[in-house]
Structure 1
Amino acid sequence: MQSTKKLIHVAVGVIQRDEQIFISKRPDQLHQGGRWEFPGGKVEQGETVVAALTRELMEEVGLQVLDATPLMQLEYAYPEKTVLLDVWLVSQTEGLGEGLEGQQVAWVHFSELSNYQFPDANQPILDKVLALYQAQ
């Protein structure tokens, strides 16, 4: 039987400055609301992942992407939808990083990321980020 759940393609930015990672809090009324996330958003039809990432980070948090490389891709099935997360390591940005849509934002030392509650789909991303820093 074919699944009728919607697949949502999302560009995600793990934004780093030295040992700090930029995170934002999802608005309470959204899916997985009240949890922290790596910012990003939906990839629109006909849009490249890099273009979506650049557009979303500028719209949501006022950061211009200057350098980004692919980190990982993962699919995660929630009961109501499936997300395809295209995760990029953003190593250079311009701007302060602020909640342009009223959301809370924070620059967090990578070792403190586990103190924040993230959507379930983000666990593999958190594991990968921690492994990257521990390998340095």
Structure 2
Amino acid sequence: MPNTAANKQIHVAVGVIYNSQGQILIARRHDDAHQGGLWEFPGGKVEQGETVCDALARELREELGIVVTPSSCTALLEIRHDYTDKVVLLDVWAVSGFEGEPIGKEGQPLRWVKPSTLREYEFPAANVAIIDVIQSA
């Protein structure tokens, strides 16, 4: 059976990044990206041979210009979500420490938001469970 986009699984490391005021960083996806125009928690694909923490640290350095502080990542949850064109496995981690000031190095808008306001932003369907966990903590 050929591998199609519909059955391809993508493993993604996702960071719920907290600042010292307890706000969470969200980023807006580019309009031409998958789920474009929606807000997301930063992160990216886990490459072959990488641990999830290594992938998350690399992605946050590449996308936001921040360096994750060692031992500041805590596993939150895993989500498997089947979109019509791909299946994603989201490995979600809370990030409580980093060095540097986040900037959208790929031109993506960023916002620090209170956890209680996350539902005011439109996220991909797979992110709803992340918001549920954040708001129930």
Q: CA RMSD in A?
A: 1.5
SS at match of 1:30: coil
| Equivalent residue, structure 2, for 1:28 | 31
- 1:18-61 Cα offsets, whole Å, 9 max, x none, are 32000000001011000000000000011110010000001001
The equivalences for 1:49-88 within 5 A come to: 49-66=52-69, 67-88=72-93
Amino acid at match of 2:28: K
TM norm structure 2 = 0.92
State the distance in 2 between where 1:7 and 1:68 align: 24
Which consecutive segments of 4 or more residues in structure 1 shift more than 6 A?
Answer: none
TM norm structure 1 = 0.93
Counting matched residue pairs gives 132
Give 1:37's match in structure 2, choosing from 16, 30, 40.
40
Q: Could you list the runs of 5+ residues in structure 2 that have no partner in the other structure?
A: none
| Equivalent residue, structure 2, for 1:6 | 8
Aligned-residue offset at 1:111: 1.2
| Identity, % of aligned positions | 55
SS at match of 1:34: coil
Give 1:89's match in structure 2, choosing from 80, 91, 94.
94
